[in-house]
């Protein structure tokens, strides 16, 4: 088959000292760590939209990266994109991918026309998957680019738009099932609002729940066995997105009885846009039994928007992987690089360098997360911090035996409890982290 990235070799692991920019320094796919290979633990996925479609356009200018692959007709272009996607995954040893319906086939003037194109491309991608062994981590529908979705999809002010969105998701679910996808993502798109002057917030959120109930039930009816995810994001494109963060999504799911059916896909950049750390969002998901999958990227913290950069911050990847390990590892989820090159990194080889950076950063993170756990001092500190709940009045609080009167009697007897209060030890712990990371 004709290569698209013909100047790029298969990327190999060459070890930490390698100076080859097209080699892994830390990601060694076959190396076992924590009883499983890095490849199995990390479950890297390629995002079709950024990698195969995105050309780097911004508010001030068009794209700089050429992803037209010298093709003139739309369907030839999308077939070429599909071949390029599988070549790229092969060269980077990435086993999984994720897409929106409109990433894999161009939209036509009618829904029927778009569906026909999707069917054709789904067959082609299915063949490429069978030949290569690559797998679909999750599918989704683009319910935000077309102008018809300017006021949202499931939360649109028009029933006609709600119906169109449902029809589009129906098809996206069908192709996800056809391709054996292990997940399906509902990201809000434009599910939010700009001003309450024109918005019935309660009605829109009720409709969001109606939409999700219809769609999740339909997916099960046609045999979807994977996980459904909502991907929280606080803002952008709308000023107020209903799926603000993990906690608000959990509250929504519980209000409408959807918490057993839908888990969370946590994105690092969305966490920081919400004013949280990546780890906070992952912990919130994990503590609520809703940890599902991850969009692996990072934001520029100096900017207020969603920059979707390839992850380089190893503190972040280490504490992300710490949460993943504590959650028992991925089941149907994985690490999807919802990440794109900076506009100035416009060459095809920059895409590979972006993935190498992200994969190496997560390989380092995985190694460091195991070191944190093996070292044990952080976990022991936290465990010890709550020891007063193991005996005496603490044990009575936990078992529910203690009444308010008991608690008052205890406090009156003590007179003051300041002598029991211990240091939070933050600086000591941060020093331990640095020691674990850098002392060799």
Q: Which residues from 232-261 bind ligand XLS, rule CB under 6 A?
A: 233
Q: With beta carbons less than 8 A apart as the criterion, state whether 355 and 92 touch.
A: yes
Report d(CA 45, CA 383) in Å as an integer. Answer: 35
Binds 185: which of ligand XLS, Ca ion, none (CB < 5-8 Å by kind): ligand XLS
Q: Is 185 in the site for ligand XLS (CB under 6 A)?
A: yes
Nearer residue to ligand XLS within complex by CB, 29 or 139: 139
The alpha carbon of residue 205 and the mean position of all alpha carbons in its chain are separated, in whole angstroms, by 23
Active-site residue set? 100, 103
Torsion sign over Cα 191, 196, 199, 204: positive
- Nearest distance, CB of residue 119 and Ca ion, angstroms: 26
**Burial class of residue 160, CB neighbours in 10 A (0-12, 13-18, 19+):** exposed
Pairing of strands 240-241, 192-193: antiparallel
CB of 153 to ligand XLS, least distance (A): 11
Whole-number minimum distance, CB 159 to Ca ion, in Å? 28
Contact call for residues 298 and 309 (beta carbons, < 8 A)? yes
Q: Which is nearer to Ca ion, 87 or 267 (CB)?
A: 267
Binding mask 267-306 for ligand XLS (x = CB under 6 A): x---------------------------x----------x
Contact with ligand XLS (CB under 6 A) among 93, 140, 207, 216: 140
Q: In the complex, which residues of this chain contact Ca ion (CB under 5 A)?
A: 267, 269, 295, 306, 308, 338
Q: Footprint of ligand XLS on residues 315-374 (CB under 6 A)?
A: 338
As a whole number of angstroms, the distance between CA 291 and CA 282 comes to 7
Q: Closest separation between CB of residue 119 and ligand XLS, Å?
A: 21
Q: How far is the CB of 295 from ligand XLS (least distance, A)?
A: 5
- Between β-strands 23-24 and 96-100, what pairing exists: parallel, antiparallel or unpaired? unpaired
Q: Which of 13, 99, 149, 187 binds ligand XLS (CB under 6 A)?
A: 187
136, 113, 117: which is closest to 126 by C-alpha? 136
* Residue closer to ligand XLS, measured from CB, 95 or 338: 338
Got the DSSP string for 45-81? EEEHIIIII----BTTB---S--STT--SHHHHHHHH
Q: What is the binding site for ligand XLS (CB under 6 A)?
A: 100, 140, 185, 187, 231, 233, 267, 295, 306, 338
């Amino acid at each position: 088959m004709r290569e698209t990235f013909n100047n790029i070799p298969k990327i190999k692991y060459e070890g930490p000292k390698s100076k080859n920019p097209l080699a892994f320094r830390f990601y060694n796919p076959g190396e076992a760590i924590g009883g499983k290979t890095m490849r199995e633990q990390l479950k890297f996925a390629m995002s079709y939209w950024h990698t195969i479609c995105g050309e780097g356009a911004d508010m001030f200018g068009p794209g700089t990266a050429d992803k037209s692959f010298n093709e003139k007709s739309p369907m030839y272009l999308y077939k070429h994109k599909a071949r390029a996607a599988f070549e790229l995954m092969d060269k980077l040893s990435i086993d999984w991918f994720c897409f929106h319906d409109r990433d894999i086939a161009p939209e036509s003037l009618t829904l029927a026309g778009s569906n026909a194109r999707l069917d054709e491309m789904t067959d082609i991608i299915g063949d490429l998957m069978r030949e290569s062994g690559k797998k679909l981590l999750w599918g989704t529908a683009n319910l935000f680019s077309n102008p018809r979705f300017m006021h949202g999809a499931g939360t649109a002010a028009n029933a006609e738009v709600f119906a169109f969105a449902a029809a589009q998701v129906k098809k996206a679910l069908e192709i996800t099932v056809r391709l054996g996808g292990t997940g399906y993502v509902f990201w809000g798109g434009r599910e939010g609002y700009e001003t309450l002057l024109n918005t019935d917030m309660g009605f829109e959120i009720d409709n969001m729940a109606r939409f999700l109930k219809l769609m999740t039930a339909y997916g099960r009816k046609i045999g979807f066995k994977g996980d459904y995810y909502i991907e929280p994001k606080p803002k952008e494109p709308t000023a107020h997105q209903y799926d603000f963060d993990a906690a608000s999504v959990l509250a929504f799911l519980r209000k409408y009885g959807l918490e057993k059916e839908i888990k969370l896909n946590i994105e690092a950049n969305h966490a920081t846009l919400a004013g949280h750390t990546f780890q906070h969002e992952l912990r919130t998901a994990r503590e609520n039994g809703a940890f599902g999958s991850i969009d692996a990227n990072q934001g520029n913290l100096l900017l207020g928007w969603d920059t979707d950069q390839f992850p380089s911050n190893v503190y972040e990847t280490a504490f992300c992987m710490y949460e993943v390990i504590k959650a028992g590892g991925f089941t149907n989820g994985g690490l999807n690089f919802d990440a794109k090159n900076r506009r100035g990194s416009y060459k095809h080889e920059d895409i590979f360098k972006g993935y190498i950076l992200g994969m190496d950063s997560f390989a380092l993170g995985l190694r460091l997360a195991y070191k944190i756990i093996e070292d044990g001092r952080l976990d022991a500190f936290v465990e010890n911090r709550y020891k007063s709940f193991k005996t005496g009045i603490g044990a009575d609080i936990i078992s529910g035996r203690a009444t308010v009167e008991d608690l008052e009697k205890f406090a009156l007897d003590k007179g003051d409890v300041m002598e029991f209060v211990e240091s939070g030890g933050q600086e000591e712990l941060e020093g331990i982290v640095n020691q674990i990371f850098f002392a060799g």
